[in-house]
Amino acid sequence: MNSKPWVILIASLPTQNASGRMRIWRGLKALGCAVLRDGVYLLPNRPDFLLSLQYYSDEVAAGGGTAHILQIDGTDEIQQKTFESLFDRSADYANLLSNIGQFDHDHQDTGKLQKQLNRLRKDFEALVSLDFFPGAARDQAASALEQLEYMLHDTLCPDEPRAAQRSIKLLNRDDYQGRTWASRHRPKIDRLASAWLIRHFIDNEARFIWLANIAECPADALGFDFDGAAFTHIDAKVTYEVLQASFGLAQNAGLNRIGAIVHYLDVGGIAVPEAAGLEALIAGMRQTWSDDDDLLSEAEKIFDAFYQAFSGTDA
């Protein structure tokens, strides 16, 4: 444990520099600082926070003021609890829960429904980023938001599978070699990532067919990522994660990192830093390649690169 778990910025700017004071105050507020008194700001002692406070310290100095950064200990348990309480986000989570409860489920415009839902998700993620001591309030808000997203699933994502409620059996990869795998055409993130996972880690000789109508799935094909498929969403797992669990790949750190991105982009959850970049790449590739096999071929290169970056191992 860090013997000095707290860091304080003490800053003073000339009163005539009103714009500078406001800019710095807004920046420190966005950083999640607790205010001990006017000009005294507190944060948990983390390297990224130290760098940020140093930046604002330099800004204060550049504006003609003075600033000091102090690292302080937390040996006094009462003081420790008092400081932690300054970062209690329970009221903010309660407000978010209220907004979730007031969601207009009956709106007929799916675009507006999605916009409302995206706003709630963005508010939740912003709150999580400032919740340095998470507890039950965060879990409650996350659960309520996931439940809302589940309720709106059929309206907003009519072509996406609903999560099945069943256990996941461990399967032998030797029994799944040289098979035909089928999924819905014009694949998006979960289907593309799942197909990459299948070809690179489950069935190296896999052949894929892309269905305009899932009712036309051949009887001998292994379906994935659609309702009734052999491999699809189960409980909180997306298809990629179900395939991982089914074939004993859940302990692979590189695959797990990719899985976190796929999960977030497919069904939401805690934001992942690399998600926006992958989402933009997939969107661009879907616009560029109209043939689904070509699209998968290009997407595989991206997943190969992510896997190597995350694990240091060739895919």
Q: Is 147 helix (H, G, I), strand (E, B) or coil?
A: helix
What would the pLDDT profile of 199-249 be if each residue is shown by its tens digit? 999 999 999 999 999 999 999 999 999 999 999 999 889 999 999 999 999
Q: Is 229 helix (H, G, I), strand (E, B) or coil?
A: coil
pTM exceeding 0.75: no
Which are the contacts of 29, defined by CB distance < 8 A and separation ≥ 6?
none
Cβ 96 vs Cβ 120: under 8 Å: yes
CA distances from 281 to 82, 193, 299, 309 (A): 46, 13, 9, 16
Point out the residues of the chain with pLDDT beneath 70: 1-3, 74-75, 107-108, 153-159, 313-315
Domains and CATH numbers, the chain: 6-85 (3.30.70.930), 90-156 (no CATH), 173-311 (no CATH)
